[in-house]
Structure 1
């Protein structure tokens, strides 16, 4: 193909994407409206749509909302999408910016923007829709702003390289006010008393904070939010999953393994070096706190008496990929079994749902003979745990993960007969290579004390273990 032919093909495929999105919107709206017309809950069909579109339920809800608006209230936008002159993303912008309007006013905005919607950029299109809507119903726009204030929230999401984002959505005046206060404090850190002697001034300048502006602002914001200094460990439980070789390279010849990585379940990997440094900081801080308390110093360090590192040894199958299971006689998942499931299933087991697995449920129901075991358990988000009980949904255990050949697997059948398989992720995350196997380490009955630790790692001070400390008895395939 010549270059003009390639560009023409790209353009034609882009138009085809718009036409396909329009067809999806019509089918999606019809499926949901049919349920609603019958007076039925549409949660089940929305969940089926999420699986069909390979997306999360939250994103599927957005697709449903856009589809219903396009089909029922925005014929001009729908026509432009069908012809391929408008992309699905930009059609979504028009739907979003007119969401606060009545059906009549939304249709009027749709009609007004029809001549220009295919030629405006994303920001210009959003602005035009907002202005047209405000001209028709300014009170609706004001009410939208009031509702936005009620939706203020804070969220956390993982970033690359062992970092994470902490975001606050709030009223603009409050967020800007907080930012101005922080930046003003950051500027003051560079001010040195001009009355100092040249020698004293030089010494003060040498000791001045050398952090960059962004790093200082981030550190200070976290200090203010947590009430703790930058290098002071946080007294909260953070699960760090790693192999014994990553935790204690000195016990295995002093050389860190090639896959020197640890994982925070539900968040992602960090380097083994960073994990060991974090644990060392906690241990050092705990020792300082104990010394301060023993010496009668009741200052800040002594208040961290609970900051301590507990090692909970979990065993995998011989491949090193998957956690083996625990058994329980209870109907609910508690204690060690619950911890086990939180590590094995950090996010919802329904495909393409990245929501945290905050609920553990029996794959094969207890009332139908299901047992409370790791093999018969699946971590689900609250929404999918409810959908699981809807008519037409069937969850079955495809593989127990105990035979050393395959990880734990669940098969999900939807009311429309579609089948989706879910496989438990590797304990250290996708992309992690299996460790070198040491046959002598695999035994039928292994205890926590078998973990090789440095001699007297806590300086002779070992407190009582937590309530959920447990031994793991597992039959491992040699």
Structure 2
């Protein structure tokens, strides 16, 4: 049957669309050529790391350190973390060394990067000596279909070529089960558990059954007492998420190796540790400015207040209203003074691009202690284990400048400046009352002879909303890290805002 001719409209739309198609196709070809060029360059970077480590005695460790150093160098140029670059180097080498024909087809525009990713991922179970055979079949299938449709057939074909059975590989793969958190937007995140498929399916099934039971009970209660029942508008997905959180946070693990007889074990008593920076006004409930969950993302003020109410300890810190840098940290245990100050200052690992929270990092002597480096604030900084090791075993060097600034120098001589992070949240007075230099005279009398602390809020009538502008205009923020000065400052804050800070955690 002959196709009817296309009738162009008066505006020439078909011709315009054709021009757009050609333009997009041409752009895609240029992008593919550039991406393939980068893949080949990354593969050569990995091969360079191999040559650098070839003569070392501890070959495995030396190779890893050489690769970390190369990845860090490229990460500085690409504005990516060294972990991301190292993973890309591994992927690039796999493409170049095992699937050269697929790479050529991608460069020629015959297939897309998605096809190549599918070929690489599904071909990992195929023995190296049979990957050329696998590549030929995979290319034939990829020329005429989308990556998602190609994947299922290639997985089955790869299994036919695999040297080990899926059962054997699954037993080994199950040892890598883990749980990860991916920060999202608006105070949310994705909690991902890598578990066997049957376990994951069973978890979802149980959550669905429990969620449906909750939903049915809710609907029955609402029908019996429609006038007084509290409306519950949660959908099944929300109920499943709430049941999931309740089981993990409020329940005791059933398989607890520390339990004996009828006694609960210690595993259920383990609690998480997080590092959160909360604005003072948000902490006392005066505003809703977000808090900063260090190493992750902002969280809402209500969540931060609930965390603060149940926290075993809180650290009070003051930031400069102009620059936002940490001025002082309140300390009550002198043995922890330096750690608490540095944790507030650094917030996370101080290697460029790394966001591992300080509570999960190591305190490193910038100038090695064994070589005479002092254990002083000006010679200490948080580094995660990965970058701490890289500093020790690669050519990357670092020196600390005044103000907690770290100056990293790579093996090629490029310098990367890592400023002390500015807290994402800060108490900023409406009227600036500080000056760049500390006052020469003692604090005013009203700060020295502060009145008795105000009574707790539950024992008095709630005050009217305070005038923040009036309150902040008379506060003198102490520049020195003297705990007594900090106490006086917070006492004034309590009085001027009419809200008492909970004395227990402070």
Match of residue 319 from structure 1: 322
Higher alpha-carbon Rg: 2
Q: Distance in 2 between matches of 1:7 and 1:193?
A: 53
Instruction: Sort the Cα spacing of 1:269 and 1:207 in 2 relative to 1 into closer, same or farther, 3 A.
Output: closer
Match of residue 260 from structure 2: none
Q: Distance in 2 between matches of 1:372 and 1:154?
A: 36
**1:178-234: CA deviation from partner (whole Å, max 9, x where unpaired):** 21112112222344699x9x99824599357442222211111111111269xxxx9
Alignment of 1:414-433 (within 5 A): 414-428=410-424
Residue 163 of structure 2 is aligned to residue 131 of structure 1: no
The Cα shift of 1:361 comes to: 0.6
**1:51-92: CA deviation from partner (whole Å, max 9, x where unpaired):** 304433433332232233233322212322444544555433
Match of residue 341 from structure 1: 342
Q: Distance in 1 between matches of 2:222 and 2:303?
A: 39
Alignment of 1:359-370 (within 5 A): 359-370=362-373
User: Which of 272, 277, 298 is the aligned partner of 1:241?
Assistant: 277
Match of residue 34 from structure 1: 51
User: Which of 167, 186, 191 is the aligned partner of 2:192?
Assistant: 167
Three-state SS of the structure 2 residue aligned to 1:115 is helix
Q: Distance in 2 between matches of 1:118 and 1:347?
A: 46
Q: TM-score, normalised to structure 1's length? A: 0.73
Residue 468 of structure 2 is aligned to residue 447 of structure 1: no
CA contact (8 A) 1:341 1:378 kept: yes
What is the number of residues matched between the two proteins? Answer: 411
Instruction: Sort the Cα spacing of 1:309 and 1:36 in 2 relative to 1 into closer, same or farther, 3 A.
Output: closer
Match of residue 44 from structure 1: 65
Match of residue 264 from structure 1: 293
**1:35-54: CA deviation from partner (whole Å, max 9, x where unpaired):** 35435422233223323044
CA contact (8 A) 2:222 2:229 kept: no
User: Which of 28, 32, 38 is the aligned partner of 1:15?
Assistant: 32
Extract unaligned runs of 5+ from structure 2. Answer: 1-15, 253-269, 435-475
Match of residue 158 from structure 1: 183
Q: Distance in 2 between matches of 1:183 and 1:57?
A: 40
Q: Distance in 2 between matches of 1:117 and 1:277?
A: 53
Q: Distance in 1 between matches of 2:241 and 2:311?
A: 26
Three-state SS of the structure 2 residue aligned to 1:339 is helix
Q: Distance in 1 between matches of 2:488 and 2:273?
A: 22
Which segment is superposed worse, 433-442 or 95-104? 433-442
The Cα shift of 1:387 comes to: 0.9
CA contact (8 A) 1:47 1:60 kept: no
Q: Distance in 2 between matches of 1:458 and 1:354?
A: 31
The Cα shift of 1:237 comes to: 4.9
CA contact (8 A) 2:65 2:390 kept: yes
Which segment is superposed worse, 67-76 or 152-161? 67-76
CA contact (8 A) 2:407 2:418 kept: yes
Instruction: Sort the Cα spacing of 1:36 and 1:85 in 2 relative to 1 into closer, same or farther, 3 A.
Output: farther
CA contact (8 A) 1:74 1:110 kept: yes
Q: Distance in 1 between matches of 2:201 and 2:222?
A: 39
Q: Distance in 1 between matches of 2:174 and 2:97?
A: 29
Extract unaligned runs of 5+ from structure 1. Answer: 251-255, 283-306, 402-407, 470-478
User: Which of 356, 374, 380 is the aligned partner of 2:383?
Assistant: 380
**1:413-459: CA deviation from partner (whole Å, max 9, x where unpaired):** 22233332222321126xx8966433232443433342123679478
Q: Distance in 2 between matches of 1:134 and 1:46?
A: 32
Match of residue 213 from structure 1: 236
CA contact (8 A) 2:127 2:163 kept: no
Instruction: Sort the Cα spacing of 1:192 and 1:95 in 2 relative to 1 into closer, same or farther, 3 A.
Output: closer
Q: Distance in 1 between matches of 2:302 and 2:214?
A: 32
The Cα shift of 1:348 comes to: 2.5
Match of residue 291 from structure 1: none
The Cα shift of 1:104 comes to: 0.6
**1:109-141: CA deviation from partner (whole Å, max 9, x where unpaired):** 113223343544222343343223212126254
Q: Distance in 1 between matches of 2:424 and 2:380?
A: 20
Three-state SS of the structure 2 residue aligned to 1:396 is strand
Q: Distance in 2 between matches of 1:217 and 1:276?
A: 25
Compute the RMSD of aligned alpha carbons: 3.8
